[in-house]
Structure 1
């Protein structure tokens, strides 16, 4: 199963564009920071991830304020060039 749920801060938003199929697409940058327990030890986690919304979700993503924190749900996919991953956002709380 390929499912990711992440609480993150919106740190970057590109201009709205359209796919060859005519769907709206919006690339964003998300930053996550938390503390987890691994092998009984606390561990601080901080990372940035590239994310993309395609279709109706782009309207909601575009309305978010930079720096605001939200819950994002979706799946991971390869970037166009095949290097790295991109988080495809399909849900937003």
Structure 2
């Protein structure tokens, strides 16, 4: 069975203006930032990552009300951006971290 799921604790670093799909569904583009220590090859490694993300519908409306810098646990899946040159995290849920 193939799986495409991601859970990421991150802060909201940037939020673009709400937009709407041709079908009228709210859509919100965000930039999330994550930093942690993870074990790798017998030592601790500092990992910093910036992730492009998108949310749709009522989830987008809820996310638009959250403060820049607030930290959440996001869950969703990865997909190619429209141009296919990068990945975008499609958020399906977020909870306090």
TM-score (norm 1): 0.97
Q: For residue 90 of structure 1, report the CA deviation from its aligned partner.
A: 0.5
In structure 1, what is the Cα distance between the partners aligned to 2:34 and 2:55? Answer: 18
RMSD, aligned α-carbons: 0.7
Question: 2:73 — aligned with what?
Answer: 71
Count of residue correspondences: 93
Structure 1, unaligned stretches of length 5 or more? none
Consecutive unaligned residues of structure 2, counting only runs of 5 or more, are: none
Cross-structure match for 1:7: 9
Match of 1:18 among 13, 17, 20: 20
Aligned partners of 2:80 and 2:41: how far apart in 1?
30
How far apart are the structure 2 equivalents of 1:60 and 1:69?
14
Offset of residue 50 of structure 1: 0.4
Looking at structure 1, the residues matched to 79 and 12 of structure 2 have their Cα atoms a distance apart, in angstroms, of: 19
Residue matched to 2:32: 30
1:30-57: CA deviation from partner (whole Å, max 9, x where unpaired)? 0000000012210000010100001110
Give the structure-2-normalised TM-score. Answer: 0.93
Tell me, what secondary structure is at the counterpart of 2:62? helix
* Matching residue within 83, 86, 89 for 2:85: 83
